[in-house]
Structure 1
Amino acid sequence: MSATTTETERRGRGGRGGRERILAAAAQLFAQQGINATGMEQVAEAAPVSKRTLYAHFRTKSDLVIAHLRELSAAGRTLEGVLTRDDLPPRERLLRLFDHPAPEASPVRGCPFVDAAAEFPDPDSAIHSYAREQKLLMVHLVTALVTELGAADPTALAEQLVTLADGAASRAMVLGEADYGRHARAAAEILLAHALPKSS
């Protein structure tokens, strides 16, 4: 191995941006093959970073998974992301819950929080607990929006809408149809029409 190659590899495996490369590699691997099927060594190799660097950033796989989920949420790449968009009116935010863009390369995935909870079914596990927190946040955000729109029973309406959204995302993943949410969107429009004042 030449000195130049060694230096190139050293810069690729260490240096700045290690955490970002780890999260990017984890996101791709988790989407392609699932969380449990992805080993930490695979993530380190795909990043690429040394295992020492990987564990310096993420002491456990649970830490990596939760950081991955937080990254998706912060980037607006979850169902919940559209609910806080200030550039859309409340009703449109609610309906955008059912729009799932087609994946560029990876398989169609459902809600990452539901996926993670399914792979870590122990309700006391850190990953399952984090996923549950995000699903509770989702219904909280939807409740706030339908309250703003004047729903007579915002709690019940919010639960109905998030159930539709999560169900559509799950069926999209199982069937491999990224646009499956259109069916749930049609149902959501009927729910909103019946539950909201006519002016909303």
Structure 2
Amino acid sequence: MNTETPPDTRSQILLRAAELFYGEGIRAISMDRIAEAVGVTKKTLYYHFRSKDDLIEAYLVARDGPNLAAFARWYDRAQGPVPDRIAALFHGLARQARSPRWRGCGFLRTAAELANMPGHPAVKAGAAHKKKLESWLARTLAGEGAAEPELVARQVALLIEGLFSTLLFHRDPAYAEAAASAARALTAAALQRNIGTPSADLPGSTSP
């Protein structure tokens, strides 16, 4: 017997809206479509979410924790030295992109659709998420002893965003490998600067 508690109405609305927004884009999906998909009236929909803008913001806020957790999980599960574990973030994205249901970064796609509305709450939610990812990278690199962890974190974050965009055009894993290689080099260089280790002694390097 299934003893799980079914999701409440608000959670059901958010779940179906997230599927539709991510799958087809926020502008393509109307509140009527969401109400129909959930099986509720528009009155009920607007009881839980004051507007479509409110629902779009909630959609991104709900993605924040799971997305950050995925990056942390890829890092924690990776084997080898720190540069290889940073590179594992890009390999994780490449694995996701192989799924036929993958539509890219929901935060980036939403920001693109709302490019003429920089003050939109969903854009702010997306910006906050990206800052959290960058901050997590900085803390992680600082804990591993990297020099200038904030700068390196920003550089790695830019590579991640570039890979998100590129994979939308080319599902070719070679792009992920190229980004992973660049992130690996940046991280190795930061570790080298901090401890003064000759490059030949770094993992993955070769002696002359």
Give the TM-score of the pair, scaled to structure 2: 0.75
The one-letter code sitting in structure 1 at the alignment partner of 2:105 is C
Deviations, residues 27-85 of structure 1 (Å, cap 9, x unaligned): 221122111111111111111221111111111112111211122223x1x2x333444
Matched-pair contact (CA < 8 Å) for 2:97–2:104: no
Distance 1:185 1:119, change over 3 A: same
Q: Which residue of 2 aligns with 1:69?
A: 60
The more displaced of 167-176 and 56-65 is 167-176
Distance 1:30 1:124, change over 3 A: same
1:128, CA displacement in angstroms? 1.2
Q: Which residue of 1 aligns with 2:3?
A: none
Question: Quick check: 1:30 aligned with 2:21?
Answer: yes
Which of the residues 150, 157, 180 maps onto 2:152?
157
Which of the residues 36, 45, 48 maps onto 1:54?
45
**CA distance in 1: counterparts of 2:186 and 2:163, whole angstroms:** 15
Matched-pair contact (CA < 8 Å) for 1:22–1:48: no
SS at match of 1:97: helix
Distance 1:192 1:71, change over 3 A: same
SS at match of 2:63: helix
Aligned-pair identity in percent equals: 33
Q: Which residue of 2 aligns with 1:95?
A: 87
**CA distance in 2: counterparts of 1:44 and 1:171, whole angstroms:** 34
The one-letter code sitting in structure 1 at the alignment partner of 2:11 is E
Distance 1:179 1:27, change over 3 A: farther
**CA distance in 2: counterparts of 1:59 and 1:191, whole angstroms:** 45
**CA distance in 2: counterparts of 1:64 and 1:96, whole angstroms:** 33
Give the TM-score of the pair, scaled to structure 1: 0.78
1:93, CA displacement in angstroms? 5.8
Matches within 5 A, 1:111-190: 111-121=105-115, 122-176=117-171, 180-190=175-185
1:144, CA displacement in angstroms? 0.7
Q: Could you say which structure has the higher helix fraction? A: 2
1:88, CA displacement in angstroms? 4.2
Matched-pair contact (CA < 8 Å) for 2:64–2:129: no
The more displaced of 117-126 and 170-179 is 170-179
Q: Which residue of 2 aligns with 1:9?
A: none
Q: Which residue of 1 aligns with 2:70?
A: 82
**CA distance in 2: counterparts of 1:112 and 1:179, whole angstroms:** 22
RMSD: 2.7
1:96, CA displacement in angstroms? 3.7
